[in-house]
Amino acid sequence: MTITYATLLSEITTPDGRDIFDPATGELVGKAPFRSVEVLDAAVARAKAAQPSWAARTDEERQSLLVRAADAIDAATEPLAELLSREQGKPLNGPNARFEVGACANWLRATAATDLPGRTLIDDGETHAEIHYRPLGVVGAIGPWNWPMMISIWQIAPSLRMGNTVVVKPSEYTPLSVLALAHVLGTVLPDDVVNVVAGEGDLGARLSSHPDIAKLMFTGSTRTGQAIIKSSAETVKRLTLELGGNDAGIVLADVDPKAIAQDLFWGAFINTGQTCAALKRLYVHADVYEDVCRELVEVAKTTPMGRGLDEDNVLGPLQNKAQFDIVAGLVAEAKSSGATILTGGTPEADAPGYFYPTTLVSDIDNSNPLVTQEQFGPALPIVRFETVDEAVDMANGIDVGLGASVWSADLDTARTVAARIQAGTVWINSHGGVHPMIPFGGVKKSGYGLEFGIEGLAAVSAPQVING
């Protein structure tokens, strides 16, 4: 059956639902069915009832169904991408809506192809011990509004592969995208294996304390993650938490500024800066500082921003007014402190949508709030440094550590600097790229637990040692 945008929307909306508006235009996208805690409890009960038969399938059967689910997403790429663009704001092209939908399919296939076999730990003639990985039961997943479909798949795919069922609570800002994704998955997967319940924050609080949720996966703010840790304590729930970022990039003196400018730009401004592991504070050696600033301005000025359904645009609006206000406030504070606005910094008055212009800020102190706080939007502070020790100290000087990057013509030097940075991932001459076989997770207040690859499968499993 061919899925169109209109039929997809009719399947997931309800006349008495919550109005969801396009952040680029203010137009109504659809009415999302916001549900109560009682409805969530019923979904958990259905997932719990469905889990034994799902776990009883062979691993090969689950792999095959994940691949078929990926095929179903591919077949519905255009309506899914259009809905995502309208609801989240991101453009169709560039590393945005079509990219995100494609990543969902690719992640399902990669998860299906990844093996986590049991193995013999010791067999010395006296002792024989093996480790195996069993399903946990029902996995709860709470997703964000910046990459709503892709991050949901990051939570769903490994959970299903290991024999768990899933209950997803999407962000109240982007529920339609995740409901649509679940609808497409449901054309292939058995009933109640994936359940999506949209609603307010009380649903997330219930998931984190629910006695029948064995594991909770959350991507979002550090503050919410801390609340989840507290509310999950009584049930001793396993947690994977990918929390706030504020990633640093360090540009050494030996770079070619023009050669790295595009990659630097997209490391910072992918999804219009609304990415946990985006480059959010850039430290540049004094010898190349002016040249790097100049080249970044040139890229910014030639990168079109506008409504996502316009095929020419690759940058979009902020997803919601609260985030717009955060970015605008931080840039205004930087201006008042005497920092230089190289480009951007002044949104168009009375324009529709939450568009904040691509903004580059130089001559800014490392203690400025635009540097120390995660702006999560299209504004990049660029800080000058004189020595590598100074740059590393500034990069490590805050309480989060999701990702970071080092930029240098000398890979050995870059790797040496990278090893000194307190972050879960440090990229060399790029920033923010993820791979389904490379573990991803943060340190410090950026959370704990790993996603992706073998480690990600283990994280949604109960290890069992058989000794004897």
What are the Cα distances from residue 85, in Å, to 23, 146, 358, 434? 9, 11, 19, 22
Active site residue 374: no
Beta bridge partners of 361: 341, 381
What are the Cα distances from residue 169, in Å, to 26, 105, 144? 24, 20, 9
Kindly provide the b/e burial profile for residues 115-143, where b requires at least 16 CB atoms within 10 angstroms of the residue's own CB.
Answer: ebeeeeeeeeeeeeeeeebebbbbbbbbb
52: tokens are 């034994």
The CA distance from 151 to 103, in Å, is 10
Active site residue 104: no
82, 87, 100, 242: which one is catalytic?
242
347: tokens are 């949104």
- DSSP secondary-structure letter at 451? B
Pairing of strands 400-401, 443-444: antiparallel
The CA distance from 187 to 72, in Å, is 8
Pairing of strands 28-32, 119-123: unpaired
Token pair 């609570």 is found at 169
Asked whether the beta carbons of 139 and 215 are under 8 A apart, the reply is: yes
DSSP string, 70-98: HHHHHHTHHHHHHHHHHHH---SSSSSHH
Helices (H), 248-320: 257-269, 289-301
SS3 label, residue 285 = strand
Backbone angles phi, psi at 289, to 5 degrees: -60, -55
87, 276, 374, 451: which one is catalytic?
276
Asked whether the beta carbons of 250 and 407 are under 8 A apart, the reply is: yes
Token pair 């892709």 is found at 150
The CA distance from 208 to 186, in Å, is 25
The CA distance from 101 to 30, in Å, is 20
- DSSP secondary-structure letter at 440? B
102: tokens are 């494609």
Give the residue numbers annotated as catalytic, written as ranges.
242, 276
